Homo-oligomer: A and B are copies of this chain.
Amino acid sequence: FLSKPTRKEEWTVLPQSAHSKNTVNPVRRIADACAVPPNPEKKVIRLHLGDPSVGGKLPPSEVAVQAMHESVSTHMYDGYGPAVGALAARQAIVDRYSSSDNVFTADDVVLASGCSHALQMAIEAVANAGDNILVPHPGFPLYSTLCRPHNIVDKPYKIDMTGEDVKIDLSYMATIIDENTRAIIVNNPGNPTGGVFTKEHLKEILEFANKYKLIIIADEIYGDLVYNGATFYPMASLSPKVPIITCDGIAKRWMVPGWRLGWLIIHNHFGVLNEVKQGIVALSQKIVGPCSLVQGALPKILRETPEEYFVYTRNVIETNANIVGNILADVPGMRVVKPKGAMYMMVNISRSAYGNDVNFCQNLIQEESVFCLPGQAFSAPGYFRVVLTSSTDDMEEAATRIRDFCFRNINQFSDSEDSSDEGLDLSAMESD
- 5 residue pairs bridging A and B, Cβ less than 8 Å apart: A11-B213, A14-B272, A19-B125, A20-B282, A261-B291
Taking a contact as CB atoms under 8 Å apart, the answer to whether A53 and B78 are in contact is yes
Is residue A229 contacting chain B, with contact meaning CB distance below 8 A? no
Residues of B within 8 A of A18 (CB): 128
Tell whether, in the assembled complex, residue A272 and residue B12 are in contact, meaning their CB atoms are under 8 Å apart: yes
Given contacts A279-B16, A286-B23, A293-B291, contact A65 B60 (CB under 8 A): no
Selected interface stretch from A110-118, A185-193, A399-407: A110-118
Please give me the residue from chain B that is nearest to A281 by CB atom: B20
Contact of A17 among B59, B126, B180 (CB under 8 A): B126
Contact of A97 with B by CB under 8 A: no
Chain A, range 204-221, C-beta contacts under 8 Å to B? 211-213, 215
Q: How far, in angstroms, from A107 to B65 measured CA to CA in the complex?
A: 31
> Within residues 68 to 83 of chain A, which ones have a CB less than 8 A from any CB in chain B?
68-69, 72-73, 75, 77-81
| Cα distance A87–B13 in the bound complex, in angstroms | 27
Q: Are B79 and A283 interface neighbours, CB within 8 A?
A: no
Question: In the complex, how many residues of chain A place their beta carbon closer than 8 angstroms to a beta carbon of chain B?
Answer: 98
* Cross-chain contact B49 with A78 (CB below 8 angstroms): no
A112's nearest neighbour on chain B, judged by CB, is: B287
Per the bound structure, the CA–CA distance linking A80 and B126 in Å amounts to: 28
Query: From DSSP, what is the main secondary structure of chain A's interface residues?
Result: loop
In the complex the two chains form, is B259's CB within 8 Å of A291's CB? yes
In the complex, A257 Cα to B72 Cα: how many Å?
13
A127 / chain B contacts, CB cutoff of 8 Å = 17
Contact B276 A260 (CB under 8 A): no
- Establish whether residues A287 and B17, one from each chain, have CB atoms under 8 Å apart when the complex forms: no
Instruction: Mark out the residues of chain A between 356 and 406 whose CB falls within 8 Å of any chain B CB in the assembled complex.
Output: none
Whether B125 contacts A20 by the Cβ 8 Å rule is yes
The verdict on A54 contacting chain B, using a C-beta distance below 8 Å, is: yes
Q: Which of B271, B283, B293 contacts A20 (CB 8 A)?
A: B283
| Copies per assembly | 2
> Are A23 and B282 CB-contacts (below 8 A) given A8-B212, A273-B14?
yes
Q: Quick check: is A255 within 8 A (CB to CB) of the other chain?
A: yes
Please tell me if A100 contacts chain B, counting CB pairs below 8 Å.
no
Q: What residues of B have a CB within 8 angstroms of the CB of A28 in the complex?
A: 285
Q: Which residues of B contact A79 (CB under 8 A)?
A: 51-54, 257-258
Q: In the complex the two chains form, what is the Cα distance from A220 to B290 in whole Å? A: 22
* Distance in Å: Cβ of A134 to nearest Cβ of chain B: 11
A423 close to chain B: CB less than 8 A:
no
Which of A158-166, A171-179, A411-419 is found at the contact surface with chain B? Answer: A171-179
Q: A150 contacts B259, CB within 8 Å?
A: no
Residues A1-35 near B (CB distance < 8 A) = 2-8, 10-21, 23-25, 28
Q: Which residues of B contact A117 (CB under 8 A)?
A: 286-287
Q: Write the nearest CB–CB distance from A298 to chain B, whole angstroms.
A: 13
* A256 contacts B by Cβ under 8 Å: yes
A273 to B213, CA, bound (A): 45
B279 touches A20 (CB 8 A): yes
Do B293 and A116 touch across chains, with their CB atoms under 8 A apart? no
Closest to A66 in B: B72
The one of B3, B274, B283 in contact with A23, judged by C-beta atoms closer than 8 angstroms, is B283
Contact between chains at A116 and B288 (CB < 8 Å): yes
Contacts A272-B11, A287-B116 given; does A279 touch B5 at CB 8 Å: no
Give the docked Cα–Cα distance between A291 and B294 (Å).
Answer: 9
* CB of A345 within 8 Å of the partner chain: no
